[in-house]
Amino acid sequence: MKPTLFVLAAGMGSRYGGLKQLDGVGPSGETIMDYSIYDAVNAGFGKLVFVIRKSFEVDFREKIVSKYEKKIPVELVFQELDYLPEGFTPHPDRVKPWGTNHAVMMGKDVIKEPFAVINADDFYGRESFGVLANYLTSLNGSENKYCMVGYRVGNTLSESGTVARGVCETDAEGHLTGVVERTQVMRIDGKVSYKDENDQWVSIDDNTPVSMNMWGFTPDYFTYSEDYFIQFLKENANNLKAEFFIPLLVNHLIVNGKVNVKVLDTPSKWFGVTYAEDRQGVVERLKELAANEVYPSPLW
C-alpha cells in the first residue's frame, strides 16, 4: 500500500498576509505546494489529503485540487475552532485554531495507511520525500514506529525575522529522544538562538536537527492524538493562545515509551515564505532550480 501525503493548509498565513498557499512563486506560477506534491508523486506517494478551513474550500478546489485530482486521488478535510471532543467548547474569546496536531486529527476518517505530514508553504526538497516514502512503505502493518525528517537548523532560518522550529535531541541509533517547539528562532551575533520559557536567548549549534513539520506516522497516531487532546484541553481551557502542536504529542509519546521515532537525515535545504520579505528569495531559488533542470517548467 502506498503512503498518503497529508498537507497542512489550514493556516491563513497571518504573518505573511493572504492565502499564501495559493501564491504563485515558481517560474510558471507554481506554488511551493506544487513542488512538494510533484516530489511526493515521483517518490511514490499514492494519495493526497489536504486539511483546510471551510471558508476557503471553493477557492482551494478551484485553484489547487483541480490541478492534482487527475494525477493522484485527492481528499479534503476541514479544521475549525469548534471541532472538539464531546463536552468541550472553545472559549468565546478564542480566535486561533488549535494548532498542527489538531489539524492532523481531521484526517482520521480518510487515512488508513502510513502517512506523511507536511506544511503547505515549506519547500522540503526531493531527497526528503524520497527517504520519507521509503521509510513509510516499510511500515505497512506496523504500529508505534514513526519518523521525522531532520533538517540542520542553520539551513532553515529566515533573514526577515524569527521562525518556529521543533528543536530535537537524538540517541546513538538516530531515534528522537525529545523535541520542543521553539516559537522564536533566529541568528543573533552569528549564532543560531532560540528564546526559552524564561524569555532568555539560548544559542545552539548550526547542525542541531530541527523538525520542519515533516513527519511520518501510522494510523494509530490518531488514537494517541484524541486521547492526549482531551488532557491538553483540560489543562489549557482558559489559555487563548495554547496550541496542540505535533511535537507536543510526539514528545509525550517518546517520554512515556510508547513509540520510536526515527530521525531521517536529508541533504535537502529548506526554504519558505515565513514573511513577505522572503518571497523574492524563494522566487529566485525556484527559477535557478528550473534553469538547472532540477525541475521542469512548467512543473506539470
Give the pairing of strands 260-265 and 145-152: parallel
> What's the one-letter identity of residue 59?
D
pTM above 0.75, yes or no: yes
- Report pLDDT for 14: 43
Confidence of residue 170 (pLDDT cuts 50, 70, 90): very high
Domains of the chain: 4-291 (3.90.550.10)
Q: Any idea what DSSP says for residue 281? A: H
Distance (Å, rounded) from C-alpha 199 to C-alpha 267? 32
Q: What is the pLDDT of residues 63-85, one digit of tens each?
A: 788 989 988 999 999 998 778 88
**Counts for the chain of helices (H) and strands (E), in that order:** 8, 13
pLDDT range class, residue 22, cuts 50, 70, 90: low
Place of cell 526554504: 271
Least confident of 32-36, 200-204, 274-278: 274-278
Asked if pLDDT for residue 48 goes beyond 70, the answer is yes
Q: What is the pLDDT of residue 202?
A: 96
- Residues 144 and 258: their CA atoms lie apart, in Å, by 7
**Mean pLDDT score of the chain, rounded to an integer?**
90
Q: How far apart are CA 12 and CA 285, in angstroms?
A: 24
pLDDT given for residue 15 in this prediction: 42
Q: How far is residue 114 CA from its own chain's centroid?
A: 16
207-259 pLDDT, tens digit per residue, is: 899 988 899 999 999 999 999 999 999 998 788 888 899 989 999 999 999 99
The mean per-residue pLDDT over the stretch 26-45 comes to 94
> Which residue matches cell numbers 491538553?
232
